[in-house]
Amino acid sequence: MRTELSFTPLPEIETELLAVLAVDTQTEKGPDAKPAPELLTTDAAVKSAAAAVLASGEYKAGANETLLLHAPAGLKAKRLLIVGLGKLTKATAHSVRNAAGTAVRFTKPRAIRELFFALPEAQSLPPASCARAAAEGAFVGDYDPDTYRSDRKDLSVHSFTVAAPPKADKAALQSGFNEGVIIGESQNFTRVLVNEPGNKLTPTEFGKRAAAMAKEVGLQCEVHSTAKIQELKMGAFWSVSQGSEEPPALIVMRYEPAGVKDGPVLGLVGKGITFDTGGISIKPADNMEKMKYDMAGGAAMAGAMRAIALLKPRVRVISIICASENMPDGKAQKPGDVQTAMSLSAERPGKTIEIINTDAEGRLVLADGLTYARQLGATHLIDAATLTGACVVALGMVNGGAFSNDDETFTKFNAALETSGEKFWRLPLGEEYAELIKSDIGDIKNTGGRHGGAITAAEFLKVFAEDTPWIHLDIAGMAWMEENRPYIAKGPSGTAVRSILEWVRSYSA
């Protein structure tokens, strides 16, 4: 999609479709209170073109509510699309992101290939932040998951232009807009990976695509397989891989900004299970096809690393993605087996893990990934994984789960959400939960029972983070959209990319 920032006055823009934003300015409450829609533009011609329909009461400016006007009087645009942000008091740059996605998705099936999107003019909506959000939303809205349909038609928007007020700060808006393009493309890079079927995106193919992306944006990248995993004595990672004909991939990406020799080293660790049958503890057949998305945490790390490479924060970053299949063949691990995880050093024995359920495999690959990130020098850790159904039960498909062993580190992440617009809710950790994963035969068990399952999974990972400041993101309920929304298609969401990026940027020197 071609993207551009324009400062041409709205009435002079010649385009197939011009989108403008509206809010409900009604502040009264009660049964008699009626919506009071108002356009977020100071342009008199645009206001005049929409005045009659706004006065009619048929349009309420609800969040992502759309209204299309043909041949709007006084404008060179052939169509005027009004997109609602909801109540003015609640409208944010994140509302603008969704509105841009809504405008693009409204446009796609109508064979309209170019779209101008007018930035809102309101004191509560900073122009640069809105320019960034609009670009992000446009890319998110343009993506559809129908990759392998034989009758797939080109419904993409070929040209998306953000129309800014002519007197706006052009440098600030251009900077924000450019960031939004990078972030939107990176989120879609993640979504493309997550959408791939397990027979197309094997662990080896995952490694190839990560390496190709790294080469394109200037990251260092190494992709290892069985020999390296066994050399490092990654017993937890290998235990998951051993049941598959497909070899595993240990993907290591490094971002080293010029002139930065000290300060923190951030470790980004992702679960990359390219297909999860559950192993010997096999899953039910219903909906198992969705288990191609079990590498969404690893894909999020790949997308975040792409954005990091292009936005160039002044902080060193290492990313570890542990990619594998979890299959139930004759070599697969069994419930009751004991595996030995990677050790941080030769002087220390690796933790022994009693396998209670082979479907609790994500925490096993992450255990060795976290340890390896620390061995490579990471001083702060963040991991992401579609880890537990228990997190979906706890938080639904509204918030991702977040855990941390360090309040200062989590405070930075929580602040990053203000920019990313993604929703995560911090859940507790504690000794009472840690007791549930103690093993009689080894050090720890890979499950702690049904109750508090998301928390005991996090407690398992905490064992391998040790005293390194660490955040765990359980994105099981957020990585896949179960239905179409006005601003995003059903399918992979690319969640966590923006939040991980902003957390990394908070450490920039």
Q: What is the pLDDT of residues 167-190, one digit of tens each?
A: 899 999 999 999 999 999 999 999
Model pLDDT, residue 153: 82
Band of the pLDDT at 447, cuts 50, 70, 90?
A: very high
Helix, strand and coil content of the chain, in percent to the nearest 5, comes to 40, 20, 40
Average model confidence (pLDDT) for the chain?
97
Q: What does the pLDDT read at residue 22? A: 98
Give the confidence band of 30 by pLDDT, cuts at 50, 70, 90: confident
At 483, is the pLDDT very low, low, confident or very high (cuts 50, 70, 90)?
very high
**224 vs 324: CA distance, rounded Å:** 12
pLDDT > 90? residue 347 = no
Per-residue pLDDT, 29: 81
Q: Lowest-pLDDT range, 136-140, 155-159, 247-251, 332-336?
A: 155-159
Rounded-to-integer distance, Cα 104 and Cα 77, Å: 16
> Is beta strand 380-385 parallel, antiparallel or unpaired with respect to 265-276?
parallel
Contact between 101 and 117 under an 8 Å Cβ cutoff? The reply is no
CB atoms within 10 A of CB 295: 33
3-state secondary structure 374-390: HHCCCCEEEEEECCCHH
> Residue 78 and residue 98: Cα distance in Å, rounded?
23
Strand-pair category, 18-24 with 37-39:
antiparallel
**pLDDT, average across residues 481-496:** 97
Checking if the pLDDT of 485 tops 80, the result is: yes
pLDDT of residue 91: 97
- Is residue 60 pLDDT above 90, yes or no? yes
Q: Is 80 exceeded by the pLDDT of residue 139? A: yes
Residue 197 CA to its chain's centroid (Å): 19
pLDDT band at 73 (very low <50, low <70, confident <90, very high): very high
Is residue 149 among the annotated active site residues?
Answer: no
The residue-averaged pLDDT of 422-439 equals: 98
Instruction: Supply angle C-alpha 129, 132, 134, rounded to 5.
Output: 105
For residue 154, what pLDDT band results from cuts at 50, 70 and 90? confident
Question: How big is the chain, counted in residues?
Answer: 509
- Tens digit of each residue's pLDDT (9 = 90 or more) over 107-135: 999 989 999 999 999 999 999 999 999 99
Which of 79, 191, 292, 363 is an active site residue?
363
Would you state the pLDDT for residue 150?
92
Q: Specify the residue for token string 């900077």.
A: 175
What's the pLDDT at 499? 98
Which domains does the chain possess?
2-166 (3.40.220.10), 187-505 (3.40.630.10)
Average pLDDT over residues 451-460: 98
User: Is the separation of the CB atoms in 37 and 102 below 8 Å?
Assistant: no
Q: Which residues contact 43 (CB under 8 A, 6 or more apart)?
A: 9, 10, 11
For residue 361, give both structure tokens: 């495999």
Q: Write the DSSP assignment of 170-214 as a string of letters.
A: HHHHHHHHHHHHHHHHHHHHHHHHHHS-TTTS-HHHHHHHHHHHH
Proportion of the chain above pLDDT 90, given as a percent: 95
| Residue found under tokens 């995560």 | 424
Out of 47, 60, 283, 426, the active site residue is 283
Residue 34 scores a pLDDT above 90: no
Residue 479, CA distances (Å) to 96, 305, 312, 469, 473 in order: 21, 18, 26, 25, 11
Rg (CA), the chain: 24
Contact partners, residue 477, CB within 8 Å, separation at least 6: 391, 392, 395, 396, 397, 398, 399, 400
| Band of residue 155 on the pLDDT scale cut at 50, 70, 90 | confident
Average pLDDT over every residue of 467-494? 98
pLDDT surpassing 80 at residue 501: yes
The stretch 28-52 carries a mean pLDDT of 92
Tell me whether residue 283 is one of the annotated catalytic residues.
yes
> Residue 110: CA atoms inside 13 Å, Cβ hemisphere, count?
13
pLDDT greater than 80 at residue 509: no
d(CA 136, CA 180): 5
Whether the predicted pLDDT of 32 surpasses 80: no
Q: What is the per-residue pLDDT across 303-328, written as a single tens digit (0 to 9) for each?
A: 999 999 999 999 999 999 999 999 99
pLDDT at residue 438 greater than cutoff 90: yes
- Tens of pLDDT, residue by residue over 275-293, are 999 999 999 999 999 999 9
